[in-house]
Structure 1
């Protein structure tokens, strides 16, 4: 009988344990979908993602961090490419995103001309204001500025020696693009005025033309989906301290959402016990890296002690202070913070190959256990 009861308990508990992974995968697929259009600046992608996150917070039973809305509006300039996106080199049509990318600061242009070689990788059509750069890998980004030329980066393996170019690129510079940070709260049961904060940026690169978008599964639909699943857990199991969950816009454009939040905070920054920023947490075969580890030795030791006891992750790698994600402006304001990302696995980054279908979420369960145990220790 005891064996039967044990087997029954295992059958019951296993789906409950894996359910969070199923939920997180569903959230990831939605955030990385064509509907969200790369969570960027065309096809209303960023706004759709903000609405989805707000709706999810509300459905999970969280409250807005301040007032009645989960959204904190702000604006910034951004260069966009909403329409035509075609390129021919030596008469060969190239595929946007796979064979070439437009330099994000480029002006739009419809033109053709002969290319002159400037060095081993740079070619120009000076009269047309066109620059072509050959690359081994295509890595796109976002620009808040506008140049006076049109630049394209072309994959070396896609063409031979560039001699002639034809392009048709539509571009629109938006001086005041409207965006929102999305912020929610679970009120603590014992010390509601003290906070543990989880953050993740939900924006990505958006679309390049009318047919190409950048899914951004690992960067950073992984962090947002993880954050949302944690928000659901804590809404159902309120902890001693209050828990804030903040999803930032504008990270890819220069940490603009987190900068705005720290300049216009919706909570007292001095009341934050600790902040963990999640960015690119969809792998983990070789462990995690913790930025700011030397700044907070006590908390880093606590994280390692928990991991050593339970053997959740292969390794926890320390890294020094760096301004490479949304933790940065909080650190500059004196808020104790870690930026954590997983290591190993797929290497897709800022390209069209960062797909939900290729993201393993290798260490999701172990990360979840590590963070909840860490939070519990912080709140003692």
Structure 2
């Protein structure tokens, strides 16, 4: 019977040998578009992204995980920047996202003042509670709280000399109950539907900073969603003996909020999950992949390497231990066996305005698909 299962799966994999790369690029283009505004907290960006994923799940024929709806709603607090984002230093007007970013926990204000140097990179206008920090590279994030100061990270190359005078006009809006949702679908197994392989990725990114600047998030994590959707499309057309489930998490960038919520309110028993594979930032691959939790599951990691050695899919598979750096974490903490996979090499854009679809190579997209497909066949039987 075991041999029969393996032969059946090998025949099924022949129907669709690899990721549909043109489709993946189309997904990345859509998710990074101005219309979705960084899949964040202003201009309904995250809501629009969620609706797009729901429509893709429906088109493939995935079932809602809870049998009723694809969305698992939840809410949380977040600090947002929907409007004015004006900063001038030493009389020079600066460009949001390119020359400066506002610290995500900042209070909005309109003020003009003088800056006092505190150390080699920190300058303060204590009267207006403004802090300026010089940086070699600008990377933004998301905050679930609002502080009583305004912080600016300023690219060193954006001005000549030390920052001495500053004028700001920044609008923030602290949202106590921002409503969003995880997107959850499943392809029921033909023989063992209560045994589940779970594929996950987060669909949110940083959203917009002001009314003119947004963060596209091509590699982080439009690439992961495109990869997940390709797998969903494949497994919907090729059901396996065990169930294959898919979750696109919201609010990963705000602190793994969506995945934490799911593990506390699971739509399927966590003990039914035989293995979880989380993908985040998989748009490159020239230097192979890294597998977080590889040291926690040595047999599965060894088998992954064996498959790769036989098929020569990727140049290298790097091992990494436990890390709370993506949506696998809270599942692993509750005893769900899990890998978190990300690619290495290529572009270095991260949490900035340069993480765009045009420069995302998707170098090892197809080979990573083949590797996971072949590994799952061997690992599950």
How many angstroms does 1:19 deviate by? 7.0
* 2:180 is aligned with 1:179: yes
Determine the structure 1 residue equivalent to 2:4: none
For residues 269-307 of structure 1, the C-alpha deviation after alignment (integer angstroms, 9 at most, x for no partner) is: 101110000000000001000000011011001100000
> SS in structure 2 opposite 1:147?
coil
Segments of 4+ moved more than 3 angstroms: none
Calculate the TM-score normalised by the size of structure 1.
0.95
Conserved? CA contact 1:60–1:235, under 8 Å: yes
How many angstroms does 1:223 deviate by? 0.2
Determine the structure 1 residue equivalent to 2:210: 209
Conserved? CA contact 1:29–1:356, under 8 Å: yes
How many angstroms does 1:174 deviate by? 0.3
Conserved? CA contact 2:19–2:369, under 8 Å: no
> SS in structure 2 opposite 1:66?
coil
For residues 102-125 of structure 1, the C-alpha deviation after alignment (integer angstroms, 9 at most, x for no partner) is: 000000000001111111111111
How far, CA to CA, are the matches of 1:79 and 1:161 in structure 2? Answer: 29
Instruction: Number of aligned residue pairs: give it.
Output: 366
How far, CA to CA, are the matches of 2:183 and 2:120 in structure 1? Answer: 46
> SS in structure 1 opposite 2:106?
coil
Determine the structure 1 residue equivalent to 2:243: 242
Conserved? CA contact 1:240–1:379, under 8 Å: no
> SS in structure 1 opposite 2:36?
helix
How far, CA to CA, are the matches of 1:294 and 1:116 in structure 2? Answer: 49
Range with bigger deviation, 113-122 or 278-287: 113-122
How far, CA to CA, are the matches of 1:311 and 1:377 in structure 2? Answer: 16
Calculate the TM-score normalised by the size of structure 2.
0.95
How far, CA to CA, are the matches of 2:244 and 2:81 in structure 1? Answer: 38
What is the CA RMSD across the aligned residues, in angstroms?
1.2
How many angstroms does 1:378 deviate by? 2.4
How far, CA to CA, are the matches of 2:52 and 2:67 in structure 1? Answer: 19
How far, CA to CA, are the matches of 1:238 and 1:32 in structure 2? Answer: 30
How far, CA to CA, are the matches of 2:151 and 2:295 in structure 1? Answer: 41
> SS in structure 2 opposite 1:128?
coil
> SS in structure 1 opposite 2:93?
strand
For residues 329-353 of structure 1, the C-alpha deviation after alignment (integer angstroms, 9 at most, x for no partner) is: 0001100000000000000000000
How far, CA to CA, are the matches of 2:74 and 2:226 in structure 1? Answer: 23
Determine the structure 2 residue equivalent to 1:73: 73
* 2:108 is aligned with 1:108: yes
Conserved? CA contact 1:122–1:133, under 8 Å: yes
Determine the structure 2 residue equivalent to 1:348: 349
Conserved? CA contact 1:42–1:80, under 8 Å: yes
Matches within 5 A, 1:38-49: 38-49=38-49
Extract unaligned runs of 5+ from structure 2: 1-13
